[in-house]
Chains A and B, each alone.
Chain A
Amino acid sequence: MGEPVPLPAAPDALPLWWVLLLPVLVGLAAWATTALDSAVTARASGRPIGPVTAALTPVRESARLLVGQRRRTLAADRVLWRLGAAVLPVAAVLAAAVLPLGSRAVADLSVGVVWFNAMEVLAWAAVWMAGWGANSALSLVGGYRFVAQGLAYELPHMFAIITAALGAESLRITDIVAAQEDLWFVAIMPVAFVVYLVSAAAMAFWAPFDAPVGRDLAGGAAAELSGVDRLVFAGGRWLLTVVTAAMAVPLFLGGGTGPWLPAWLWVAVKTAAVLAAMVWLRHRLPTVRMDRWTEFSWIVLVPLMIAQALVVALVVLGGGGGM
């Protein structure tokens, strides 16, 4: 083997020890989101809980799952079952590596957008494996539902993130942020922003796209998960939600740009706003049937996104960019 060419170097990535801090940060954000969600759930059920109780709910739930017994099913495919649950949080943290926390990311790859997409797509395989492995009909149906859902959301989702890359003429996330210094991309590509948020919810099988783990399937892909397996699966799902919501900030909401506050605080504030909107919508919308959503997604969203990409391409060409 010859001398390997080094990967296109990141100009100024965060120091290496941030690799250890990143999962903690994403985990804390997931904790805050879970707490908010449990507060909203309690309020909707007519028994509001205080902020302290809400903050403790995820902790208590995690402790309960940690001491809970792992369920065993007959003739389970144990390798794929455990792997499916474990891949979810790993994929979420790997996707977060290209997320600018402030003005810099842990790994500022030259193909950051594609890396993000490749990592989040692992969730597809993960949920199917978790659904398949248990050898249970309901969980198998849940796994298949998620694959169908993936077919529906993935095409508009790819177009949405590629439109942001097109607007910046770069696949590097920090370049995309830099291109929004004057004008956030949400202003010139509002359709892409909305489609991104919708497909991000679908990717994290978040309501109204929670059919793969729906109540009508007794928990779907997660039906047979208990104890630590359920904790890893559910935790991975929360992490995935946080990371996909956080990626909307550098792609469409100008990243860390903003007056007065430092960049990292702006990123935190904007991410919190996106997550709050997702939690709010989760409790407002009923579960969407996947066959109908696929039809809408392919017939309405895909052409809409192509038109949006065309408009952005014309804006970029008109602005003196391009060839």
Chain B
Amino acid sequence: MAATVLFWVLAVAAVGFGFAVFRLGSMAQVTFALLASFLAVAGLVLLLGLGYLGVVIALMMVIEMVIMAVFMIMYMMNPAGLMPMAMYHNKAGSMTIAVGTFAVLAAGILLVHWPVRRGVPPPDPTFALGEALMSGQMLTMMTLGVALFATIVTCVVLATNRGRYDRFGDDLRSGPAGGDGR
């Protein structure tokens, strides 16, 4: 009973906040409406018993949306003011796609003949999911993850303005340029 109520509250919140993305006038509000929608989805995933996935969705989406807000506003808006501006282009088209996708998926859920469950869910569904997805390739995927992470950090460190070029000047071999007291 409680799970059903929770499901409907979260489902309505997810769709409602998602729709608010089209209705709100400020880019910052739109970002956080999208975040609220994602958090409701994270709640739905938790409701499915996928504890780790649900919490990680919440964790990642908060970080992602804050960074997205910063970049969106930096690139697309007069950052000094709070001028109303939407985050999408072609409002009619994007709304048709969004609402249409929702309608198709929802119709699919209702029309498909779902199989009856055989067996019982594993004690830790997230663990089982991970193993099913990459059983033999676990080591490869772990190595790949660390390599990707190292690449990201290295790229940012090399690209940043206040990095080695700031300290050494254009010619990296010539030694410290000095000037800013480091």
Interface of A with B (CB < 8 Å)? 1-2, 4-8, 75-77, 79-80, 83, 109-111, 114-115, 117-118, 121-122, 124-125, 128-129, 132, 135, 137, 144, 147, 150-151, 154-155, 171, 291, 295, 298-299, 302
- Kindly state whether residue B21 has any CB partner on chain A within 8 Å: no
Give me 14 other A-B pairs in contact (C-beta within 8 A), A110-B52, A125-B65 excluded: A6-B49, A7-B49, A8-B49, A83-B32, A109-B55, A114-B56, A114-B59, A128-B66, A129-B28, A147-B70, A151-B67, A295-B160, A298-B156, A299-B157
Does B133 sit within 8 A of A, measured CB to CB?
no
Q: Which residues of A contact B56 (CB under 8 A)?
A: 114, 118
Q: Using a CB-CB cutoff of 8 Å, which residues 103-146 of chain B contact chain A?
A: 117, 121, 123-125
Check B82 for interface membership: any CB of A closer than 8 A. Answer: yes
Residue B97 is within 8 A (CB to CB) of chain A in the complex: no
Q: Please tell me if the beta carbons of B63 and A154 are within 8 angstroms of each other in the complex.
A: yes
Whether B35 and A125, one on each chain, are in contact in the complex, defined by CB atoms closer than 8 angstroms, is yes
Closest to B161 in A: A291
How many inter-chain contacts with C-beta < 8 Å in the A-B complex? 90
Check if B51 sits within 8 Å of A111, measured CB to CB: yes
Question: Which of B4, B35, B55 meets A114, CB within 8 Å?
Answer: B55
Give the size range of B's interface with the partner: 35 or more
CA–CA, A135 and B82, complex, Å: 7
Residue from the list A6, A75, A295, A299 in contact with B82, Cβ < 8 A: A75
Are A117 and B48 also in contact (CB < 8 A) when A79-B29, A135-B82 are?
no
Ranked 3 nearest A-B pairs via Cβ: A5-B49, A118-B59, A4-B3
Grouping DSSP codes into helix (H, G, I), strand (E, B) and loop, the B interface class, with mixed when no group exceeds half, is: helix
> Distance in Å from the Cβ of A51 to the closest Cβ of chain B?
40
Interface residue from B46, B49, B70 paired with A144 (Cβ < 8 Å)? B70
Q: Which single residue of chain B is at the shortest CB-CB distance from A2? A: B117
In angstroms, Cα B52 to Cα A114, docked, is 8
Q: B7: which A residues are within 8 A, CB to CB?
A: 1, 4
| Chain B residues in 8 Å Cβ range of A80 | 28-29, 32
Once the chains are docked, how many angstroms separate the CA of A83 from the CA of B32? 10
- Which residues of chain B come closer than 8 Å to A121, judged between CB atoms? 59, 62-63
* CB of B87 within 8 Å of the partner chain: no
The residues of B that contact A147 with a CB separation of less than 8 Å are 66-67, 70
- The CA-CA distance from A219 to B62 in the complex, in Å, is 25
1/0 per residue B52-83: CB within 8 Å of A? Answer: 10011011001101110110000000001110
Q: Can you list 7 A-B contacts with CB-CB less than 8 angstroms, sorted by A residue number?
A: A7-B46, A80-B28, A110-B124, A118-B59, A124-B66, A135-B82, A298-B157
A144 CB to nearest B CB, Å: 7
Within the complex, what minimum Cβ distance (angstroms) separates A165 from chain B? Answer: 12
